[in-house]
A and B are shown apart, each in its own frame.
Chain A
């Protein structure tokens, strides 16, 4: 097993499946009255958030606490981080405090990898989102949720057709998901306006489409991405109305999806922009499952990184 979780590309298919299988057993345990396991008693996990995030931070916090670890939340606002302390000094501080694991969210791509590679600290580093690069635990919880609903006999995602729709350019969720879902055997299609696709998307080895309506009934999963308005400092599309009309999941498109298909969204949603309220709340929507599964997948990640050694 790897010693940090920085990128999906560091994981082999077997390692990824091992995380999902472990999460599945942990999910079963947490469904019983027993919500707490003693496994990481006495270990300290620091949530180091240089960027606002409520759901990811509380999901990691819940996961760590269910494994009996001590959790320290360290967010940029109102801390030494906002006073300009460098990543290195922060890491040295965490090392001095004896952090066994650090969950890091940072606006710069590669921040987690830098923290892991510089030997400033000995603890395991988990990337909880670095810039527009990756968000591996989100991809793992998405794969877990898909597998939960559309399980095949091989235990992976082979023969599934998955559409990832919207702001791929700014989305670390999309990048991690493309890597993981392809690794697990799924056929991934990216659907976005050309302005919201990365320049190098041709090298990702996935299908790219500009028309959401084409063969809409062939997707097993439709994963909507949040339009990241806060990362947009210029016009990427003419108007929100036009974006919504061409790339939003509305009631009409929802009705044209196949019977067993799933609707997913990593949250937080811009209801009415990339996804309509009736789609988000429909029977096909597994958005609430994604949140719930996030805790199990993060428990599995923490256990596999910190439980041994």
Chain B
């Protein structure tokens, strides 16, 4: 149960990602954050708060459930659905930043891109993740990464967030 990030480190990572988002998009005027339930949505709400404080203006954020777009539904028990809430301003012609907790195979992000396309055509789609653990099965990469964590496939990355888990930390489980 190796500790990867503790609470202050998670905060610092999010702040750095926020700065990078501002830098890349030259402000946040046309940026909309879309979090992937469950923990990606919580991280996106935190990022929105940090960005609003840094820039002194509000930023729209929403959630996008990818379950119904997954290509790996068969062969496992049905997953329960998360919430999709596209902000009032929509995503058409906006700079969309997808936010998730862990980037692994890339299949969730592929599903998210399909789901996103149903809601409009963003000017660009960028990806922010707290942890990139490698082992991609698709040509997908993150634009903003909290921490790169080399893992083997059998390990499990556990992200706990204050809002639902009672504390903030990232651990690797099952490491020999």
By a beta-carbon cutoff of 8 Å, the part of chain A in contact with chain B is 1, 18, 21-22, 25-26, 28-29, 32-34, 37-39, 67, 303-304, 307-309
Contacts and interface: CB of A to CB of B under 8 A. Distances in A.
A307 B65 contact: no
Interface of B: 65, 68-69, 73-84, 86, 114, 118-119
A38 B115 CA distance: 9
Contacts of B69: 37-39
11 contacts: A22-B80, A25-B81, A29-B68, A32-B118, A38-B114, A39-B69, A303-B68, A307-B74, A308-B76, A308-B77, A309-B78
Contact of B77 (A1, A25, A39, A303): A1
B78 A303 contact: yes
A89 to B, nearest CB: 29
A28 B84 contact: yes
Nearest to B120: A33
B82 A307 contact: no
Nearest to A308: B78
Nearest to B77: A308
Nearest to A37: B68
B95 to A, nearest CB: 21
B84 A308 contact: no
B83 A28 contact: yes
Contacts of B114: 38
Closest 5 CB pairs of A and B: A308-B78, A25-B81, A34-B118, A37-B68, A39-B68
A309 B68 contact: no
B157 to A, nearest CB: 23
A173 to B, nearest CB: 26
Given A25-B65, A34-B119, A38-B68, A307 B83 contact: no
A169 B119 CA distance: 48
B62 to A, nearest CB: 12
B69 to A, nearest CB: 6
Contacts of B76: 308-309
A25 B83 contact: yes
Contacts of B83: 25, 28
Given A25-B82, A303-B78, 6 more contacts: A21-B81, A25-B81, A32-B119, A33-B119, A38-B114, A39-B69
Given A37-B68, A38-B114, A308-B73, A1 B119 contact: no
B78 A21 contact: no
